[in-house]
Structure 1
Amino acid sequence: MSSIELSDAPAKAYKDKGEHSHLVPKSVKVSWGAGALGVALLMNAIGSLALFYMVGVLKIDPVLAGSLIFVTKLFDVATDPIVGSWSDRVKSETSRRRPFLFAGAIVSALSFAMIFTTPVFGNQLFTAAYVLVAMMIYAFGYTLFNVPYMSMPSEMTPDYHERSSIHSYRMVFVSLGGLLAGAVAPFMLEKMGRTEWSSYATIGVLGGGTILLFMMIAWAGTAKARFTVAQKETPKVLAEVGHVFTNRHFIRLICVKLTQLLGVASSQAAMIFFILNALQRDLTVMTYYGITLSLTAIIASPICVRISRKIGKKFAYTIGSSFFILTCLSWMLAGPGEPTWAIMLRAAGTAIAMSFNVIMAMSMLTDIINYDAEKNGIRREGVFTSFYSFAEKFTYAFGPLIVGVALSIAGFDKDLPAEAMQSPAIRHAVLLGVSYLPGFMGLVSLIILLGYKLDKEVQAEAPKS
């Protein structure tokens, strides 16, 4: 009946541990988590820098720039489920996922360098065409690595809380990747020239090398991790995709992430404009913001796991969502010359929200995958993860588009220095991105989250196929 079965064949590190055999070795957790630094740098740098880079350096109209990002994400409508199903169906005596990690690392690194070394043509449409191609390669590389990568924790252990522990290691590397994208990169831009093409080219080359290194660590270091193997019976792709949308727990979790991440994406896209235009600060303040964010997230990650063991994953997630809403709304109180300590305090609130939200959401996703497998006898890690990944990228398409349209309506002039555009209309346009929309969507996501029912007790009662 089952099309996919579990295998412990390569997992020598787990043998002879008795009741602790479900625990994943720290070396595997660290190696797997390291890949998240590459993913975080890739996603956060594109999310926070791409729109400003296109508008301020490449001189592409804000609406066109936002549309380019949006269109490339539509490409993932096809690639995410295809890669997810493909990684489920691969016949191999070793991990089905790791070959995708290897290929995805190379494509992701190259695409990152391509984007930030875009040639500036005399016609903005030619420049936009190059960006479109580079962004599509980026979207495919991200999918090729991230969908199989995020499928792996549900295979590594059957333990309900151990899955949260795995993702807490990932959160540390997510924080470090965010530090590079959110603090180091803006600092470099401020020192080298935030509107200089060569500054972004330097970031593109250095960032691409870093992405390749850490993604390859994940590929090499998970060779002994537990995995699942495909049997001779090949599941039909459309049937597998259709099955995903009959899972009410998954649908609710996806709705939570869609609403919440739309606010996160718009906030990232608008933050540089907000710093320069509304707060009238230079980008060095983002160094303080990024360092505070990363250090707080690293500290908060193990605390999040402990709290979830005490009160449950849903309520731990609720804590993170509440911090997110309050922090976003607090930006409405910020004004020109905002003190650095106030910006750092908001960074700490954002970090707590990020740690709780990311760890709990991903742990809940692996719970859903294992619950579904126990009920139906078929493991669909890749398909479930592909739609989760698509939700993430779809929101990151809408965020820059919304900010780009808002800036255009407010009268943003791409030919003027960013700090010269400080009108009330521009302030409200960037506040829409960093405060109004994230706060509202965060509240909606919190309401949806309250109806989530798959806790440890429900999973333990799942009928075995």
Structure 2
Amino acid sequence: MALPAGVRRGYALGSVATGTFGTVPGLLLLPYLTDTIGVAAGLAGLLVVLPKAWDVLLNPVAGRLSDRAGVRRPFLLWGGIALAVTFALMFAGPANPVWVVLLFLACATAYAFFQVPYVAMPAEMTDDPAERTRIMTWRVAVLAVAILISGATAPLVVDVAGHAVMGLYVGVLLLAGSLGAYVGTRSAPRVGATVASGTLAAQLRVITEVPDFRRLLTTWVVQALGIGTLLAGTAYVARYVLGDPATSSLLFAAFVGPALLVTPLWARYAARRGKRVGYVVSSLVLVVGALATLSGSLVGLCMAAAVAGIGYAGVQVFPLAMLPDVAAEDARAGGASRAGMFAGIWTAGETLGLALGPGIYAAVLQVGGYRSAGEAQPDGALLAILLGFGAVPAVFVLLSLVGLRGYSLDERSPA
């Protein structure tokens, strides 16, 4: 069943919130702790990971609650409002690690109740795999814009007006995306089976026994580790390798910008070759781009980031289109919908991967002898900054493809 174009665009607006929250903390929170507050790199990495680890437990609960509620949209509204407010407060309060951790925990909680129902919706909005690909093409295009705008401008706002103003600015972006998705999907249909009964533990057990979901989830989580590590390294490469913190915005634009052009092309590739093949190919393109960042020059880094960005676009489109296929097939075979639970486990894995990424990068810095609070860095730290930004993410993305072997639900979308 094809959806009205307005519903596709309305749904995609939620990516303003997911893209912004998925990007800005990874770019700015670790440097804020190490270089503004003066927390040691290893401890800062732990502080960044802990609130996100909470979501690993919370997201399946949010999924089950949204399943039982029978509606998804109210979660978009109230979760989005809470996310925007708590993010702004995180940087508006005292420059204290305890305050930051507590507010980041609140942000993570609010985000769970927005993101999980949001991710669950495509499996219930249409029963057509081709339409789900079109939905994700719109979503990833808006995601690229959101990542580009938030990732490029948030560091500039910090440089010009400080962290408190940046927090307010990002809070406005989060609120706009949440409200946009809530309003834009008001006419979206809901198709599929009734909600599955049973306890949370029983539903978790059933879902984790779905082979295609296990394979897809494993790949997604390991790739999230690599992407989270890459994002965490952007500010450090700009400051210590290129010598200008402002170049972080340029690197980010080079990474995300190509997605605006190639996302529709990846969708066409899926129509011809299938989603799984497209996922593998785009992942390999991302690996090549990540390895090329070891050049260390501004021009070389920007070119490498552009190649990685082409792969990144596909790495977003394909798995996000494959997940609702898996959930819908499970509902068809079992006669009951568990879309919220699928989304809850999926986003828990994504959250864990993206949260551990900065922690892994911080560990690489620690091994390299990184000095906190903006001091001059030894050669070992400079090497660690580059390796953590390029080689480490490439290894994670390459290893992730092992998990995709045997994935069977690979329907091609008609052009």
- Would you call these one fold, judging by a TM-score over 0.5? yes
Compute the displacement of 1:39 (Å).
Answer: 1.3
Residue 102 of structure 2 is aligned to residue 102 of structure 1: no
SS state of the match for residue 415, structure 1? coil
2:127–2:191: 8 Å Cα contact kept in structure 1? no
SS state of the match for residue 162, structure 2? helix
SS state of the match for residue 177, structure 2? helix
Q: 1:438 aligns with which of 393, 409, 414?
A: 393
TM-score for the superposition, normalised by structure 2: 0.95
Q: Quick one: structure 1 residues 229 and 320, their matched pair in 2 at CA, closer, same or farther if it must change by over 3 Å?
A: closer
Q: How many residues align?
A: 413
Q: Find the aligned partners of 1:355 and 1:262 in 2 and give their Cα distance.
A: 16
SS state of the match for residue 75, structure 1? helix
1:88–1:230: 8 Å Cα contact kept in structure 2? no
> Which of these two proteins has the greater Rg computed from alpha carbons?
1
2:195–2:336: 8 Å Cα contact kept in structure 1? no
Residue 211 of structure 2 is aligned to residue 248 of structure 1: yes
Match of 1:163 in 2: 132
Q: Find the aligned partners of 1:378 and 1:283 in 2 and give their Cα distance.
A: 51
Q: Find the aligned partners of 1:416 and 1:48 in 2 and give their Cα distance.
A: 16
What is the letter of the counterpart of residue 367 of structure 2? I
SS state of the match for residue 60, structure 1? coil
User: Percent of counterpart pairs with the same letter?
Assistant: 27
Backbone CA RMSD of aligned residues: 1.9
Match of 1:128 in 2: 97
Q: Quick one: structure 1 residues 128 and 187, their matched pair in 2 at CA, closer, same or farther if it must change by over 3 Å?
A: closer
Q: Find the aligned partners of 1:356 and 1:414 in 2 and give their Cα distance.
A: 36
Match of 1:411 in 2: 369
Unaligned runs of 5+ residues in structure 2 are none
1:114–1:134: 8 Å Cα contact kept in structure 2? yes
Match of 1:330 in 2: 292
Match of 2:170 in 1: 207
Match of 2:120 in 1: 151
Match of 1:235 in 2: 198
Compute the displacement of 1:109 (Å).
Answer: 0.3
Match of 1:428 in 2: 383
Q: Find the aligned partners of 2:93 and 2:366 in 1 and give their Cα distance.
A: 23
1:14-48 CA-partner distances (Å, limit 9, x unpaired):
xxxxxxxx111110111110110111111200111
Q: Find the aligned partners of 2:26 and 2:284 in 1 and give their Cα distance.
A: 23
TM-score for the superposition, normalised by structure 1: 0.85
Q: 1:257 aligns with which of 203, 212, 220?
A: 220
SS state of the match for residue 116, structure 1? helix
Equivalence map 1:164-203=2 (5 Å): 164-190=133-159, 192=160, 198-203=161-166
Equivalence map 1:24-35=2 (5 Å): 24-35=3-14
Compute the displacement of 1:228 (Å).
Answer: 4.9
Q: Quick one: structure 1 residues 411 and 294, their matched pair in 2 at CA, closer, same or farther if it must change by over 3 Å?
A: closer
SS state of the match for residue 13, structure 2? helix
Q: 2:298 aligns with which of 339, 349, 353?
A: 339
Q: Quick one: structure 1 residues 240 and 409, their matched pair in 2 at CA, closer, same or farther if it must change by over 3 Å?
A: same
2:41–2:372: 8 Å Cα contact kept in structure 1? yes
Higher helix residue share = 2
Residue 17 of structure 2 is aligned to residue 59 of structure 1: no
Q: Find the aligned partners of 1:405 and 1:85 in 2 and give their Cα distance.
A: 35
Match of 1:268 in 2: 231
Compute the displacement of 1:230 (Å).
Answer: 8.3
Moved more, 318-327 or 227-236: 227-236
Q: Find the aligned partners of 1:416 and 1:165 in 2 and give their Cα distance.
A: 45
Q: Find the aligned partners of 1:433 and 1:214 in 2 and give their Cα distance.
A: 31
